Structure 1
Amino acid sequence: MGKLKSFVVTFDNNKDVYQAGEIVSGKLIADVTEGIKARELGDRDGENPTLPAGYYEFPFRHQLGTGLPSSFEGSRVGYVRYSVKGIIDRPWKLDLTTYYIITVLDMLDLNQEPRATMPSGSQNSKTLCCLCCTSGPIELQAQTDRGGYCPGERIVVKGSVENNSNTRITKTTAKIVQMVTSTGFPPTDGSVPSDTLSSTVEGPGCSARLSENIELVLPIPALPPSGLRYCNVIDIKYVVLVTAHFQGPHRNLEVELPIIIGSVPLKTLYSGHPNPAYAPATAPPLLPPPTYVEAEAGVDIVDNIVNRDKYTPSQLYYAPKYMYYDWSQHPQQ
């Protein structure tokens, strides 16, 4: 880095995840090995146009506004990204800039979503054609145990498949799919499905002329909340995709079960009170304490930001972190 041994952004208490309204505070650290001509460093005006050699710490403090969308990294349609930048303003030369991306979370409370307590169900049917013959109908029905979940919880999918054809259904599967719609420029043509967001869970198949009940359990990874509230160019929806797979060249039979991903779990789910009006004001002890877990989708800072914009990285890789409820030490009912 030449005259700079280091130039980095650090945060108080090593905190890099914030909620709307919180205060972001830390230091911009510059370790200068040789004087640098500089009109300004960050928000600090200097009367001396040269920043002498030495070790400098410039504290910063900023309160986030309210109504901020959650951080999001989309592989196809864009991102919502918050960063802290430190700048050494050099006369007649390129500025020296360091860059650190933080996570900002919008807390979507499932207790404020009426559909969160209601199961999500759907059914679909089809017939198979082989030459001039048409099979009897094949029906797939599935339903989730409720409509709203938080990362770390699990989705229980129950249903049935009725196979009135002569073709065997080899297996049934379920997975979580994120549907992203962009209204920016250029806009996407409808919703764009991302990669599968959970491991695909397999269930039983069904022989010809028989029926079979299915029950599949899906763990939920770290995900941004549904809707990406307060963002007017990106919308996020989630579905559980349940599929019956056929033997041979036939197209599979699918049903989509819309769900809501939130940040604050349903209180009544763990309190034992069937009526939300009598739910306790705080979450019961059965609920594990939330942690922050990185999402799978991230960005390589060097390849995607540093090399493009000539920044000095304060981090090499970034992935947003989301509220996560770890049930590994707390058996889930």
Structure 2
Amino acid sequence: MSCHAAFPTIGKLKTFTITLDNPEGVYSPYDDVKGHVKVELKDKMKMRGIRLHFYGGAEVEWKELKKVGDQTYTEYYRANETYLNFEMVLFGKASGQGGDNPTLPAGSYTYPFRHRLPGPLPSSFESYAGKIRYWIKGTIDKPWKFNHTTKKVFTVADKLDLNDRPGTRKASRGEDEINLCCLWCKSGPISCKFELDRSGYVPGESIPIKAEIINHSNRRMWRSRAELHMFCVVPVGPAYQLEIPLKIIIGTIPLRESVPPRQGPSQSHLHQERAQAFAPSTSQPTPTYAESTFGKVNIKDVDDTEYTKGDTDYAPMYAYYNEGSTAESATGDKETSAPPQ
């Protein structure tokens, strides 16, 4: 995976490139992040040094409208944590180090690097209210001039092996009922029973649902649907809803007996080279990698300037096991409306 900094032809710097040995840029805690930085100069350049900054951290920010009496105001909430903060000198001096500034002659230079991630680390995540993000920033620190910087973002994906979690093989069941209205207009109940064959799944697996819905009321059911977090029966009319939540665990390594090995899809946004890190046994299927369904976000931070090159948009990559099918109901429809009863 390469991060190419396209600099103007006017000036001394022609190329400033960060390349990761891992083409997907996906790592687990305690992995070595390896790669190289390429610098190409058309003329000699005086500098304090060439450095890499490895950073990982979380930030959250949101606002809420508050009301006190007749007054309405906005309250802001912010917090941050740092998980990784390390500087590596590739050439010259470290930040704040004294002494003479070296000069790098014209030519092409390649600087290999390796840094072991600490652990444990939370997985990469991007949302409107917060983020967990990891990146490498290369800097050519020039005295009394604007620095050249280039940025590469990588994904940290922690492992969750369903085989090591108790209860993931157990079936999960739930049932409930609801009566519509009350007193003299009370009708018979709408009841629902449903179950899952187990409690642990990985992204890409189908979740088969067995459900029984009985409508003893005099109201028509508008529809029944299954969602990732609940199964609902919704009758016609306001404020009548039956919900039955079941807890499941979404892991990164599937149960050994649940998913047979098979070839993953060939879509351009899925990747397979990183598979072995999430499949410790040869009997395990190998995952592909897919970008987060939330899509890419702009990753420019407050410290980045117009001179910061490299990655500008990014989406975390997550392990995905393709079964070659999409989730469907028993009738083959993704959602069905129940007939009147």
Aligned with residue 193 of structure 2, among 141, 148, 161: 141
Normalising by structure 1, what TM-score? Answer: 0.67
Whole-Å separation in 2 of the counterparts to 1:283 and 1:119:
27
Assess if the C-alpha contact under 8 Å between 1:289 and 1:326 holds in 2. Answer: no
1:94–1:129 CA distance, 2 compared to 1 (3 A): farther
For 1:221-236, what aligned pairs fall within 5 Å after superposition? none
Q: Which residue of 2 aligns with 1:186?
A: none
Shift of 1:282: 4.1
- The question of 1:44 aligning with 2:44 is answered no
Aligned with residue 75 of structure 1, among 112, 128, 139: 128
Shift of 1:87: 1.1
Shift of 1:81: 1.5
Whole-Å separation in 1 of the counterparts to 2:183 and 2:47:
79
Code of the aligned partner of 1:291: T
For 1:213-252, what aligned pairs fall within 5 Å after superposition? 240-252=229-241
- The question of 1:56 aligning with 2:109 is answered yes
Whole-Å separation in 2 of the counterparts to 1:313 and 1:138:
60
Assess if the C-alpha contact under 8 Å between 2:259 and 2:285 holds in 1. Answer: no
Whole-Å separation in 2 of the counterparts to 1:104 and 1:25:
14
Shift of 1:130: 8.7
Where 1:111 maps in the other structure, the secondary structure is helix
Whole-Å separation in 1 of the counterparts to 2:183 and 2:37:
72
Question: For residues 281-331 of structure 1, what are the alpha-carbon distances to aligned partners after superposition, in whole Å with 9 as ceiling and x for unaligned?
Answer: 9464xx542222222134433xx41676226242342111122222229xx
Shift of 1:52: 4.4
Code of the aligned partner of 2:258: L
1:13–1:164 CA distance, 2 compared to 1 (3 A): closer
Q: Which residue of 2 aligns with 1:312?
A: 308
Aligned with residue 249 of structure 2, among 226, 247, 260: 260
Assess if the C-alpha contact under 8 Å between 2:22 and 2:34 holds in 1. Answer: no
Where 1:258 maps in the other structure, the secondary structure is coil
Q: Which residue of 2 aligns with 1:297?
A: 294
Structure 1, unpaired ranges of 5+: 177-239, 272-280
How many residue pairs are counted as aligned between the two chains? 252
Where 1:170 maps in the other structure, the secondary structure is strand
Shift of 1:168: 1.1
1:254–1:62 CA distance, 2 compared to 1 (3 A): same
Q: Percent identity?
A: 40
Whole-Å separation in 1 of the counterparts to 2:186 and 2:43:
82
Structure 2, unpaired ranges of 5+: 1-6, 52-88, 93-99, 261-279, 326-341
Code of the aligned partner of 2:218: N
Q: Which residue of 2 aligns with 1:228?
A: none
Code of the aligned partner of 1:75: Y
Where 2:248 maps in the other structure, the secondary structure is strand
Say which one has the larger Rg.
Answer: 2
